Amino acid sequence: MDKNSDAAGAGRAELTHFDRAGRARMVDVSKKEDTFREAVARCEVIMRPETLRLIEAGGLAKGDVLDVARLAGIMGAKGTGHLIPLAHPIMLTGIEVYFQLLPPYAVEVEARVHTVGKTGVEMEALTAAAVAALTIYDMCKAVDRGMLVQNLRLISKTGGKSGEFRRENG
């Protein structure tokens, strides 16, 4: 793993959401330059093979699971500033949510979010992936309450002063 994939703060020595006295604060980004910023996040929903077959065949009474989950992911990204206390509300310029069926037992969720602004969209991408995965769970729980949502992670981010981050082995 490269130094940027360090779980203890991506190579940074300070936690920016705290002031010198240790109080929570929203980071002031007013003096930062607007740049193109993009983030990609992924997670997986693990389920019984029969559940995956129902999703693939469109055989659930609640409707097209992945279409509803895509809309939920988009809404999740847009609502991140209301869910994460110190996240900035951001004018997002694009949100894409993709699904890959991984037979026999998983759906991979990928969210790609971009903007032109003063702060990154990592939290928006992570929120989009998580909300889409939770929606899959909600839509399928009547047939499979044992599903797992796992491995939520940032895959990449571009833009801003900290530069580019790319996770090895996605």
Positions marked active-site? 138
Q: Which residues contact 27 (CB under 8 A, 6 or more apart)?
A: 16, 17, 86, 88, 119
Residue (of 115, 100, 103) closest to 69 by Cα position: 100
Paired strand residues for 42: 110, 153
The Cα angle at residue 111 between residues 126 and 40, in degrees rounded to 5? 70
**Cβ–Cβ under 8 Å, residues 121 and 39:** yes
**Cβ–Cβ under 8 Å, residues 37 and 29:** no
